[in-house]
Amino acid sequence: MPPLPPIGPNSKAQQGPGGRHSARVNAEKPKNARETLSKLLRYIGRNKYIFFGLIAVMLAITGLNLAAPSIQQKAIDCITLTEKKLHIQESRLVHSLIVLGVVYLLMSVFTYMQGIFSAKLSQYTVHTMRKDLFGNLVRLPIKYFDTHRHGDLMSRMTNDVENISNTISQSIGSLISGVLTVIGSVVIMLTYSPILTLISLSTICLTVFVSGIMTKFMRKYFMQQQLLLGKINGHIEEMVTGYRTVVSYSKEKDAIEEFGVMSDELRKCGIKAQICGGVMGPLMNCISNFGFVLIAAFGGWFSLKGWITVGTIQAFILYSKQFSRPINEIANQYANIQTAIAGAERIFEVMEAEHEPDSGKADIKAEDIRGDIVFSGVKFGYVPEKPVLKGLDLDIKCGEKIAIVGATGSGKTTVVNLLTRFYETDGGSITVDGTDLRDIPKDELRRSIAIVLQDTVLFKGTIGENIRYGRDGASQEDVERAARHANADEFIKHLPDGYDTQLAEGGSNLSQGQRQLLSIARAVLADPKILILDEATSSVDTRTEMHIQSAMVALMKQRTSLIIAHRLSTIRDADKIVVIADGRVAELGDHDELIEKKGCYYELYRTQFAGNKT
């Protein structure tokens, strides 16, 4: 079985694909935040019409925002005080107030439009991202799923994508508006008073310094938070799928304690992340307010000197506020932005994972494959330093029924994994009908192979749809014929809705034997040239085993069949029995021949049937 590589930093690999393991997740910042952000922006850019529409709306909002303080300044300067007498230019004042009202009304309309464009941009972007992510997931090799926790992969598909969606809808508009507002505010402030502008900009250095320090802390905590969330999802997924085992061993308390430890880690990390994110905004506000004090103090002094008017001071303070507001908003949203970047990096890791290679060059179709299989000096190890197969030689003729036996861990299932190209050989070769396995297109190879596993996999839908999974477009008559060959037709017809009976999750409303018969019916419908039975009867009772064996006999006719079984009683009629030991073929022959040799097979058989005469 393949080993699990480290999922979190410093975690230790555990043996077995998809096996449980504990990963200690350390604080870690994104490996390349700039590159991740660039990739994310390319996804946003795919919806260019919505994006440009949002920019147009933000240009309008920014323009109106920049115009408002100037209009207010004109309205204030319509009121002057000379020699203790108040002078009001009523017509100009009324005109300015009307224009100001129209400006604020238009701002409300455009702000509403900004919300619409932001929501559309967010949903279209994550729709494309989610589609690409899932599309890549189904093209990944089996090894990838054997070495990554399923709950963590689910977390990337759900939590991480949702974080990106929220950030895009809340932050993109603010970022665009912020850049435009900063540029516009600086230009207008320079026209009013270059000296006051320099005083106002003096606080930027302090802002950059403080935000730089806070950023270092926030990055590592938000990345760690996403990793811990994936770890918790993985634990929950394991507990839900393995709940019967947890209960049967009375491990509920242990499961709760383990979850509590992980939840505490997430809580502590979340508190640190939120504190860092929450402190950023108030710090920026404090620095901004200090800037306003400087502007008010120097502006008042300039006004006393007669260099600027009171309206100009008021307008300058507003522009200064507009200049600092985007920086504060970005600081307030920085926590969300960091979460989104950390999530995006995890998503792109899956998207950029290497697809399952398909180097098939031969022009071979599934219907052309006969089923002659030859293993020549095959070497393979899930870990390079721990080989499982050390030079396996095996010649299987078309139509033969071959049983593969051996001790646990001897490499029986590995033979199947290599034949189906779930994994590639490290040495030697495998040929089918004289063609190297690597030269046969994977789709065509797998269409010619059907596998019946010990753990049956049934999907949401009806019984008929699950059988039809073996061959798309099969007629109802073909489905029922396959069920009859698999001895499944009788129990199906006794169900309330027959072939239209809806299955519960994983087929839990059927018995183990019934689920196995459905998987055999699916294989019958697929009509494969090569059939693999991997412990297909090991988890059922003796009577059900008889029904399944009867169905398998019909299924194996005129097909090359590989049977992996621990119950030696199920393989006595095999054409050849292959005993694998120490990564090689230790013995080969039929049942009677191997019993006479009194070698490895004899010892295995005697162990299972101690006390019986052979």
Which positions of the chain have pLDDT values less than 50? 1-29, 611-614
Identify whether the C-beta of residue 373 lies closer than 8 Å to the C-beta of residue 530: yes
Which DSSP letter does residue 32 get? -
CA–CA dist 2, 533 (Å, integer):
20
Tokens 């030859």 correspond to: 374
Beta strands in 303-447 (DSSP E): 373-380, 389-396, 401-405, 427-432, 435-436
Tell me the pLDDT tens digit for each residue of 374-416.
999 999 988 878 888 988 899 999 888 888 888 878 888 888 8
- Token readout for 182 is 């900063």
Q: Which of 460, 450, 461 is nearest to 522 (CA)?
A: 450
- Which element (helix H / strand E) includes 534? strand 530-534
How far is residue 345's CA from residue 10's CA, in Å, rounded to a whole number?
Answer: 19
Q: Looking at residue 105, what is its pLDDT? A: 92
For 41-64, write each residue's pLDDT tens digit: 888 888 888 888 888 998 888 888
- Residue ranges matching CATH 3.40.50.300 in the chain: 360-448+531-546+562-614, 458-527
**Cβ partners under 8 Å of residue 291, min gap 6:** 199, 200, 202, 203, 320, 324
| Domain 34-351, CATH among 1.20.120.530, 1.20.1560.10, 3.40.190.10, 3.90.1150.10 | 1.20.1560.10
Of the candidates 111, 117, 116, 118, the one whose C-alpha atom is nearest the C-alpha of residue 171 is 118
What whole-number distance in Å separates Cα of residue 574 and Cα of residue 399?
11
Question: How buried is residue 432: exposed, middle or buried, by Cβ count under 10 Å (0-12/13-18/19+)?
Answer: buried
Contact 40, 342 (CB under 8 A): no
Q: Half-sphere exposure of 174 toward its Cβ, with a 13 Å CA cutoff?
A: 19
Q: What angle separates helix 194-241 from helix 310-351, to the nearest 10 degrees?
A: 30
- Give CATH 1.20.1560.10 domain extents, the chain: 34-351
Q: Give the three-state DSSP class for 149.
A: coil
Please say whether the beta carbons of 559 and 529 come within 8 A: yes
Strands 449-453 and 401-405: unpaired
Give the chain's end-to-end CA distance (angstroms, integer).
33
Give 543: exposed, middle or buried? Use CB within 10 Å, 0-12, 13-18, 19+. exposed
Query: Half-sphere exposure of residue 127, counting CA atoms within 13 Å on the CB side?
Result: 8
As its CATH architecture, domain 360-448+531-546+562-614 has: 3-Layer(aba) Sandwich (3.40)
Gap between the Cα atoms of 103 and 160, Å rounded: 39
Cα separation, 200 vs 283, in Å, equals 17
Concatenating the DSSP letter of every residue in 337-369 gives: HHHHHHHHHHHHHHHTSPPPP----S---GGG-
Closest CA to 267 of 220, 228, 219: 228
Residue 262 and residue 232 in contact, taking contact as beta carbons nearer than 8 Å: yes
What is the rounded distance in angstroms from the CA atom of residue 177 to the CA atom of residue 107? 13
Q: How far is CA 378 from CA 97, 409, 527, 561, in A?
A: 87, 16, 28, 20
How far, rounded to the nearest angstrom, does the alpha carbon of residue 550 sit from its chain's CA centroid? 42
The CA-based angle 210-214-216, given to 5 degrees, is 125
| Surface-to-core class of residue 215, CB atoms within 10 Å of its CB (0-12 exposed, 13-18 middle, 19+ buried) | middle
Q: Which of 526, 527, 496 is nearest to 510 (CA)?
A: 496
The CATH homologous superfamily of the domain defined by 458-527: P-loop containing nucleotide triphosphate hydrolases (3.40.50.300)
- For the chain, what is the radius of gyration of the CA atoms? 35
Contact 336, 166 (CB under 8 A): yes
Extended beta strands in 272-363, E state = none
Q: Tell me if residue 531 falls in helix, strand or coil.
A: strand
CA distance 7 to 216: 23
